[in-house]
Amino acid sequence: MKYYTAISTLFMMLSVSLFAQKDGTAPSDTALKGQMVLIHTEFGDMKVLLYDVTPKHRDNFIKLVETGFYDSLLFHRVIKNFMIQGGDPLSKNAPPEQGLGMGDVGYTVPAEFNDTLFHRKGALAAARFGENNPLKNSSGCQFYIVQGQTFQPEQLDMMALQQGVKLSDLKKSTYSTVGGYPPLDNSYTVFGQVIEGLDVIDKIANVQIRPNDHRPLQDVRMKITLIKPEPLIEDMGSKKTKKN
């Protein structure tokens, strides 16, 4: 059976030390444009920015949110110091014993990799099939939010060497202070960022889970809504009056 996942066995086997996480700062200004959504859970709310530079994922997510697709779905896969995953339509009425992760909407979304968007803490990214998916197309509905961990500079250098990539100074600084999960960069599409409510990720990541499939023992449901932009207040004092 195939499951939409946010990690491969190789990355799960990485041996790293854990360090305390710190609150993050916002992504670069070049990415701070897009629609806001609110992910409501019993543990609190997360305010999420959907990036305009990943329009296919943004538009698909907005479409699903507008139809109420995610309402009452579960965060069905939780791995502490890694991520919380949800969006499986089969999870809405799933009994406690049911395994989850195979539900979809009948289509995938083409990958939209952008080197300025990476798996920092709070990153919103699309889950996908790992097998027989050379183009790394994303699930049409399942997503995950990164909790991750902080890494020492030496650990980051070793991971970069193993993957054959070079980490920018920004990534090194972010992963060593804010935290995240660098092995997933440019393999899973990041299309948003939690800008308020990082503590909610930590709370969900700390719930008790079944060890065989990481499903929380107590259901963690979500409700996602669009945040309407606040209307611009025109500065009446700046208007020039016409002379008669």
Q: What is the pLDDT of residues 81-137, one digit of tens each?
A: 999 999 999 999 999 999 999 999 999 999 999 999 999 999 999 999 988 999 999
Residue 6 confidence (pLDDT) above 80: no
Structural domain contains residue 15: no
Burial (CB count <10 Å: 0-12, 13-18, 19+), residue 138: buried
Structural domain contains residue 115: yes
Mean pLDDT rounded to a whole number for the chain? 87
Q: How many CB atoms lie within 10 A of CB 235?
A: 7
Structural domain contains residue 3: no
Q: What is the CATH number of the domain that holds 46?
A: 2.40.100.10
DSSP H stretches of helix in the chain = 9-12, 55-66, 153-163, 169-177, 198-205
Q: What is the pTM of this model?
A: 0.85
The type of residue at 38 is L
- By residue range, what is the domain housing residue 180? 29-229
Structural domain contains residue 238: no
Query: What is the rounded distance in angstroms from the CA atom of residue 97 to the CA atom of residue 205?
Result: 20
The dihedrals phi and psi of 125, each to the nearest 5 degrees, come to -140, 160
Structural domain contains residue 8: no
Residue 27 confidence (pLDDT) above 80: no
Question: pLDDT tens digits, residue range 151-210?
Answer: 999 999 999 998 888 899 999 999 999 999 999 999 999 999 999 999 999 999 999 999
Structural domain contains residue 19: no
Percent with pLDDT over 70 in the chain? 80
Percent with pLDDT over 90 in the chain? 76
Are 38 and 47 in contact by the 8 Å Cβ rule? The answer is yes
Which two three-digit tokens encode residue 108? 């995938």
The type of residue at 64 is L
Structural domain contains residue 108: yes
pLDDT for 214: 98
Beta carbons within 8 Å of 198's beta carbon, 6+ residues apart? 23, 24, 46, 121, 122
Beta carbons within 8 Å of 46's beta carbon, 6+ residues apart? 38, 39, 145, 194, 196, 197, 198, 200, 201
> In the chain, how many domains are there?
1
The dihedrals phi and psi of 45, each to the nearest 5 degrees, come to -110, 145
Structural domain contains residue 159: yes
Residue 240 confidence (pLDDT) above 50: no
